[in-house]
């Protein structure tokens, strides 16, 4: 049986809350800004 390699992902992950129950994860600040333009009530969460 082969040992599975651990996946290491060092890319940044930003979470954007677009409404009270929907949180999406994006990879770049540009993507977060585009979501925030589409949804004016959106905000970055930690």
pLDDT value for 26: 95
Q: Which residue has the tokens 């905000």?
A: 43
Compute the half-sphere exposure of residue 14: CA atoms within 13 Å on the CB side of its CA.
Answer: 16
- Name the CA radius of gyration of the chain, rounded: 15
Each residue of 11-41: pLDDT tens digit? 889 999 999 999 999 999 999 999 999 999 9
pLDDT value for 3: 83
Domain locations in the chain as residue ranges: 14-45
Written as six digits, the tokens of 20 are 């009270």
Instruction: Report the first-to-last Cα separation within the chain, whole angstroms.
Output: 39
Residue 42 near residue 35, CB atoms below 8 Å? yes
Confidence of residue 9 (pLDDT cuts 50, 70, 90): confident
Residue 29 vs residue 46, higher pLDDT: 29
Report the distance separating Cα 27 and Cα 13, nearest Å.
5
What is the value of pTM for the model shown?
0.71
pLDDT value for 6: 86
Length of the chain: 46
């Amino acid at each position: 049986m082969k040992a599975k390699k651990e996946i290491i992902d060092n890319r940044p992950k930003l979470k954007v809350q677009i409404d009270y129950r929907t949180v999406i994860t994006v990879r770049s600040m540009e993507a977060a800004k585009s979501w925030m333009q589409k949804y004016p009530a959106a905000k970055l969460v930690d």
